[in-house]
Amino acid sequence: MLLSLFSILWGILICLILSSPIGYYPLFISMFIVSLAVYIVAKKFINPSKRLIALNVIYFFAAYILCSYFLFKPSTNNYFMFSNISKEKKAVIFYCEGEMEKYTPYYSGYLTKDIPFYLKPIHSYQLKKIYSKIELNTKNQTLNTIARDVKSSILSYKPYYFYIAYSAYTPTINSALSSAINDGCSEIIIINYSSNNDLLNDLSKVVDFKKFEENGVKISVTKSIQLKGEFQEYMANRVINMPSKFDGIVILTKNDDVGTAVKSIINETYKKDDMILVTDNIEDGVKNFIDKGANNILYVCLDESSSGLNSEYFYPRTLLKYTDKANIVGIKDWGYDRALVKATIKSFLEVEK
């Protein structure tokens, strides 16, 4: 019985040490060391059989997995007061990527959403190490600035309730919807300020749209801002207006149609189709031009709405081994520009009408 308790405790502590913020280390590591010392002393009075040892190994992993489940399970605490619905009230939700600013196990759950529960603590530990290097993730700052300008433009047009929702931070889409419903809004437009061209389908996995419809609430989702000509021209002009000229340009995106449109605009200036490559793999794209003898390479991230983990950590780390072979610079994200606000408003108006 004593051995079983130790096995369960160690499974929980290992999960917590891997997943918890660094500030909790003294507590959990101290508990682990003390429990280990107590076990070593108590071991003199325990003579477990092989069957009992095997059983306690199972207890250890069961405790580890259950602890991981409760740490990373999605929140379901969203309350919808449909009795307050008014046909006169409408809402806009500015939906964007977003990322946690500092490491916390709960919000790291989104970044590890496709990972099995038993591996989430390990991946969270890797994220924790990254955050210890970057200290503060500033991705949300630019997104908040864009959202502020979009809000100002929309509210000067009509009296909408306005909310923001992040894909990987708080408030989540369900939290924003809950706020809109509790404020009595019967019509909600979700602005898709992301590179996700299938957002409605993805949101349907976490939002019960049928429940809203049954309660008289209409929800619409705009097309991705990427699909607007203003966005494509803005990103292309950032390349064209750069003071340096390049012999290799990598357009990084998962949306080939958008990448091709941006490439076509750039080609009007560069006139060389073979020096622009659209790909979703930054390393393959850069290596392709290095193999061709390119000395100055530019990569353009079309899918990064703001400067986050990909643009500030993963991409530079991936390209580090090629920096002695070519000069590599990047347009790492969309940044802030009034053209982006204009494209967002046009996407909104297409649905609002």
pLDDT digits (tens, 9 = 90+) for 135-159: 788 899 999 999 999 999 999 988 9
Contact criterion met (CB below 8 Å) for 240 and 266: yes
In the chain, what percentage of residues exceed pLDDT 90? 66
Q: Cα–chain-centroid distance for residue 41?
A: 47
Please report the pLDDT score of residue 249 as a whole number.
96
Q: How many CB atoms lie within 10 A of CB 73?
A: 11
pLDDT at 261: 96
Model confidence over 153-212: pLDDT tens digits?
Answer: 999 988 999 999 998 888 899 999 999 999 999 999 999 999 999 999 999 988 989 999
Residue 10 has pLDDT above 90, yes or no: yes
Q: For the segment 50-61, what is each residue's pLDDT rounded down to a tens digit?
A: 777 788 889 999
Contacts of 139 (CB under 8 A, 6+ apart): 97, 98, 99, 101, 306, 307, 308, 309
pLDDT number for residue 75: 67
Q: Answer whether residue 320 shows pLDDT above 90.
A: yes
Give the span between the Cα atoms of 202 and 198, in whole angstroms: 6
Q: What is the mean pLDDT of the chain?
A: 90
| Secondary structure in 3-state letters for 146-162 | HHHHHHHHHHCCCCCEE
Question: Which backbone phi and psi does 87 adopt, to 5 degrees?
Answer: -70, -15
Between these two residues, 40 and 343, which has the higher pLDDT value?
343
Of 43-47, 111-115, 347-351, which one has max mean pLDDT?
347-351
Report how far apart the first and last C-alpha atoms of the chain are (Å, whole number): 68
- Reported as a pLDDT band with limits 50, 70 and 90, residue 274 is confident
Rounded to whole angstroms, the Cα distance separating 252 from 45 reads 63
Helix (H) or strand (E) holding 219: strand 218-221
pLDDT digits (tens, 9 = 90+) for 206-262: 898 999 999 999 999 999 999 999 999 999 999 999 988 899 999 999 999 999 999
Is it the case that residue 347 has pLDDT exceeding 70?
A: yes
Closest to 291 measured CA to CA, from 248, 229, 347: 248
**pLDDT at residue 74 tops 80:** no
Determine the average pLDDT of the residues in 318-329: 94
Percent of residues, the chain, with pLDDT higher than 70? 97
Which pTM was predicted? 0.89
The pLDDT of residue 301: 97
Predicted confidence at residue 113, as pLDDT, reads 75
C-alpha angle 341-344-348 in degrees, rounded to nearest 5: 135
**DSSP code of residue 97:** -
